[in-house]
Amino acid sequence: MDVILVLRGVSLHVEEGGVVALLGSNGAGKTTTLKAISGLLKIEEGKVTDGSIEFEGKRIENGDPEEIARKGIIQVLEGRRVLEHLTVEENLRAGAYIAGDGARLKRDLDMVYDYFPVLRDLRGQTSGYLSGGEQQMLVVGRCLMSHPKLMLLDEPSLGLAPLLVQEIFQILKRINEEERVSMLLVEQNARAALSLANYGYVIENGRIVLDDTAAKLRENADVKEFYMGLSAVGETKSYREVKHYRRRKRWLG
């Protein structure tokens, strides 16, 4: 049987109530890391073959996704995976299933509508007809209905206008502070991710190559150049310097 080794040097930690950003380019292993934690890797016939994943002092690697979700680890998948034929409120009610607490349903719906007032106005709308930003709000709201302890957010800024990204990240910050929900945030938008996170890791080719506080990563020259664009480190680069841009990744040596 052919085996593809995707992750081969990943060690990271999310403090209770903390927000951690996982930065990296396409194919670096960010989404695979989240799926290994949430158990979704298992249903894709993948597995953790070395090392361990621990949550609240217990090992969870290669566990069933539903059992991991019941422990409070909920993944918000990339691409705004709404249940397109259901209404907004039906999507939210579906999120409450894993928590199994019908008595709290109305209070939880009100909580989500408080964070995302637009969803209250759209609660009877078929979710497949929502805008991209509204769908992103809906999948985060559906996650909240599950009473997560740890939210795994996969590219929440993908395909959204900058002002909308700013609004959603401000709401995520409120959720973290007010609900004390820990977050592991996978992003290519380093600027947005490091504005929300308190700590960050950079993953390349399946291994962690850099980690530090978000404040220090925002000032790191390599992070500025490779994840915030050339303009972040100055506008005077010559064509010759740009040509050697990728070969200057010191951490991949």
Is residue 237 scored above 60 in pLDDT?
A: no
Asked if 21 and 201 count as a contact pair (C-beta separation under 8 A), the reply is yes
**Mean model confidence pLDDT for the chain:** 86
Q: Which pTM value belongs to this model?
A: 0.85
Question: Mean pLDDT, to the nearest integer, of 213-237?
Answer: 73
Domain boundaries, the chain: 19-72+148-252
Cα–Cα dist 46/215, whole Å: 35
Question: Mean pLDDT, to the nearest integer, of 13-35?
Answer: 92
The one-letter code for the residue type at 5 is L
Higher-scoring residue by pLDDT: 82, 117: 117
Report whether CATH 3.40.50.300 matches the domain 19-72+148-252: yes
Which residue stretches of the chain are H helix? 30-38, 40-43, 65-70, 88-95, 105-115, 117-121, 132-144, 162-179, 190-196, 214-219, 221-227, 239-243
Q: Specify the pLDDT at position 169.
A: 95
Asked if 58 and 68 count as a contact pair (C-beta separation under 8 A), the reply is no
The model's confidence at residue 43, banded by pLDDT at 50, 70 and 90, is confident
Joined together, the tokens standing for residue 231 give 């303009």
